[in-house]
Amino acid sequence: MNDTAVKDDQLLGKIAAELSIAYKQVKSVISLLDEGNTVPFIARYRKEMTGALDEVQIRSILERWQYIQNLEQRKEEVLRIIEEQGKLTDDLSKAITKAEKLQEVEDLYRPYKQKRRTKATVAKEKGLEPFADWLMTFPKDSIEQKAKEFLSEEKQVLTIEDAIAGAKDIIAEMVSDDAEGRKWIRKETFKSGTVGSAVKDAEKDEKNVYEMYYEYEEPVNKIVPHRILALNRGEKEDILRVSIKMNADLITAYLSRKWIRAQHSPAAPFVQEAIEDGYKRLIQPSIEREIRAELTEKAEEQAIHIFSENLRNLLLQPPLKGKVVIGVDPAYRTGCKLAVVDETGKVLKIDVIYPHPPVSKTKEAREKFINILREYKVEMAAIGNGTASRETEQFVADILKEMKEEIFYLIVNEAGASVYSASDLAREEFPNFQVEERSAVSIARRLQDPLAELVKIDPKSVGVGQYQHDVSQKQLSESLHFVVETAVNRVGVNVNTASSSLLQYVAGLNKTAANNIVKKREEEGKFTSRAELKKVPRLGAKTFEQAIGFLRVLDGKQPLDRTGIHPENYDEVKKLLTSLGLTVNDLGSEELKTALGGLNLKSVSEELSIGELTLKDIIDALVRPERDPRDDLPRPLLKKDVLKLEDLKAGMELQGTVRNVVDFGAFVDIGVKQDGLVHISKLSNRFVKHPLDIVSVGDVVTVWVDSVDMKKGRVALTMLPPS
């Protein structure tokens, strides 16, 4: 094994230990990724190799591997630069090689870094470095006498004071560049420092959003992520002044003990002054920046994690399949746009009604709405939650109560619908529709299949985040893309109805391949088998291998194409079915279920040379060929009547849908204009570390009204039953 392989092996072992995953699993994941396999493909079709790791674990391995490789690269670069300067000692080389974080490497590199002109570099140019070195030996001789040796008109060191000041600048920088000292100060500031804020310009805070931070202080090690991001935003908007405070005496006392070796030396007071200056001018601002950057990074990670979890739950909301739906995009002056879509999402009717002021054609609007419901045999109404939503809800609820037909309605979160409606994609899909009409179609389709509709929108626009505009947009986009990709591949995609937007999230496919699939389908008609996809331009063998298991052909020539079984296993599946006296035409039948139920997994797996995990997945797919994991989740809360804020009374029990989860609680739609907040302290009787441990977006929960603030239109809810 060569040196690189040995080193890689050590790094893989390190990742395995950090993530508590077996070394063999980590090694398999990295080699599968190196071969060009995608995360969803590895998670679904290479379970034997990875020990059934899921997408999140695989991504964690990949991210850690990339970080460690970047760290190793940086170490090599730093060692090379210091070596070229002729200053690399064995101890320094060992310290850099052993460093586990980029920050440690940068601390060790700091004294050797090419600096812009500092006070210390100017002093060195004036020939004062030997004087500074002499002071650090803590001599007993006269300092002023020694300083005279360094006076020079040419170098502009004209007085004893000039010489001493220059030497102190050199010592201050030396103290500041010491890696061990910086590490201690950083750790101590984290342990006992405080984050403080003060108002800078209250006039800019028109809505008093940051009022609680006008005079605020909290320990660094206690501050929660959402407060860090709030402080950052207040500072960015020039409303707040934010700083990290630390007991300077404690730190200068530590530095004095570390650097001053002889308190009675005449040099000691000068070195002490240099230490104090070094901390105040160089170390403290630098450490403050580093700590705030670290706090921000952790807060961003948390905000991105919450957004990702909320998005995942939103995307995996159960679809209301096989329903004719009327989508309503509410508005006052411009009228409520209506769109009726059939069971497949095809638009049957577009119209507009004016039930609200200033037009107020209520009678005409009622008649038109009822006629449309009856003519198209509408089974569900989806109402967007934007402007005029509650008035429209009242209008629809009143009509549905009078109808003999059983029709329910749902309020649909229309976040991002306007973004989609005005996009090139929507114009391409509905070139003859107005923006609001496209929005009504999108609202209706969100009810039928949230995943298929939401993938058309930039994930950042779906309205389930917390401080999403304050975090690294690159990291946020990458994380949300991963969430959408995971959700799409978990559910699977009907290749004959999927939009290009949905297809491009399938493992292995990109925008070009997705567009080519749609183009071929439009030109030559429906695909009748998975094998036909091999003829799609730009869809090579590797892409086909990665994507094909997630693409379904529901009514094609090969029944196995309806399932999540990968074509690479078709021969083994046919052998299995033949051994049971059955064929691929028996998929999902009771006879097949009974036959498969009595199998001995271990012996069949050996017989077919297929791993047990893969065989188990195959059996699941044969029993439920078109299984959608979303079907196992609780259905959305269907409604027939409407509530007003005035109807709410403390202690009232309600059913609601969780719309958003944040660090401090969950927002629940209980059918009034404003979502109610269940504070983290009211989620459970037991200690709750984070609201996500208790609730998720889309959950239907039982809540009780805690209090109602009519003036601010706020509702406080609790999930703790009244005693």
Beta bridge partners of 264: none
Write the CATH number for 108. 1.10.10.650
Cα→Cα distances 33→63, 379, 505, 506, 566, Å: 12, 47, 18, 17, 19
Say what the pLDDT of residue 2 is.
67
Q: Could you tell me which of 554, 614, 550 has the C-alpha nearest to residue 588?
A: 554
Strands (E) across 547-632 are located at: 551-552
Q: Could you tell me which of 488, 475, 524 has the C-alpha nearest to residue 630?
A: 488
Cα→Cα distances 121→1, 118, 127, 340, Å: 47, 5, 10, 74
**In contact, 545 and 487? CB cutoff 8 Å:** no
**In contact, 193 and 246? CB cutoff 8 Å:** yes
Does residue 378 share a domain with residue 412? yes
Does residue 276 share a domain with residue 193? yes
Q: Which of 250, 272, 304 is the last residue of a domain?
A: 304
Does residue 540 share a domain with residue 407? no
Strand-strand pairing, 714-718 and 676-679: parallel
Residue 99 lies in a domain: yes
Counted residue by residue, the chain has a size of: 723
Distance CA 543, CA 509 (A): 7
Distance CA 659, CA 638 (A): 15
Please count the CA atoms within 13 angstroms of the CA of 82 that sit on its side-chain side.
24
Does residue 197 share a domain with residue 51? no
Beta bridge partners of 552: 494
Q: What is the pTM of this model?
A: 0.87
Does residue 349 share a domain with residue 439? yes
Does residue 261 share a domain with residue 236? yes
Does residue 392 share a domain with residue 349? yes
Say what the pLDDT of residue 273 is.
98
Distance CA 191, CA 246 (A): 10
Does residue 194 share a domain with residue 168? yes
Residue 42 lies in a domain: yes
Question: Residue 125: phi, psi to the nearest 5?
Answer: -60, -25
Q: Could you tell me which of 681, 676, 682, 683 has the C-alpha nearest to residue 660?
A: 676
Q: Which residues contact 27 (CB under 8 A, 6 or more apart)?
A: 12
Write the CATH number for 712. 2.40.50.140
Element (H, E) at 15: helix 3-19
**In contact, 159 and 143? CB cutoff 8 Å:** no
Does residue 561 share a domain with residue 433? no
Does residue 345 share a domain with residue 284? no
Mean pLDDT by 10 residues, the chain (723 residues): 76 94 96 96 97 96 94 96 96 95 94 91 96 97 96 95 97 97 96 97 93 96 94 96 96 97 96 98 96 95 92 91 95 96 95 96 97 96 89 93 91 83 90 93 94 90 77 90 96 95 96 96 96 95 98 96 97 96 95 93 94 96 93 80 83 91 93 89 95 94 94 91 85
**In contact, 592 and 586? CB cutoff 8 Å:** yes
Cα→Cα distances 629→39, 52, 487, 492, 619, Å: 19, 18, 10, 9, 16
- b or e along 290-321 (b: 16 or more beta carbons within 10 Å of the residue's beta carbon)? bbbeebbeebbebbbebbbbbbbbbbbbbbbe
SS3 158: coil
Write the CATH number for 262. 1.10.3500.10
Distance CA 544, CA 359 (A): 55
Please count the CA atoms within 13 angstroms of the CA of 597 that sit on its side-chain side.
9
Does residue 397 share a domain with residue 331? yes
The amino acid that residue 13 corresponds to is G
Residue 480 lies in a domain: no
**In contact, 270 and 135? CB cutoff 8 Å:** yes
Residue 462 lies in a domain: no
- b or e along 182-198 (b: 16 or more beta carbons within 10 Å of the residue's beta carbon)? beebbebbbeebbbbbe
Q: Which of 448, 473, 490 is the last residue of a domain?
A: 448
Does residue 338 share a domain with residue 297? no
In angstroms, how far is the first alpha carbon of the chain from the final one?
A: 68
Say what the pLDDT of residue 634 is.
80
CB count, 10 Å around CB of 413?
25
Helix, strand, coil shares of the chain as percentages rounded to 5?
55, 10, 35
Range of the domain at 232: 119-304
180: tokens are 């061990």
Write the CATH number for 626. 1.10.150.310
Residue 498 lies in a domain: no
Please count the CA atoms within 13 angstroms of the CA of 312 that sit on its side-chain side.
18
Which pLDDT tens digit goes with each residue over 558-599?
Answer: 999 999 999 999 999 999 999 999 999 999 999 999 999 989
Beta bridge partners of 717: 678, 705
Residue 454 lies in a domain: no
Which pLDDT tens digit goes with each residue over 118-171?
Answer: 999 999 999 999 999 999 999 999 999 999 999 999 999 999 999 999 999 999
Residue 102 lies in a domain: yes
- Number of structural domains, the chain? 5
Q: Could you tell me which of 398, 485, 382 has the C-alpha nearest to residue 439?
A: 382
Say what the pLDDT of residue 639 is.
77
Say what the pLDDT of residue 1 is.
56
Say what the pLDDT of residue 274 is.
98
Q: Which residues contact 259 (CB under 8 A, 6 or more apart)?
A: 136, 175, 271, 275
Q: Which of 241, 273, 304 is the last residue of a domain?
A: 304
Residue 244 lies in a domain: yes
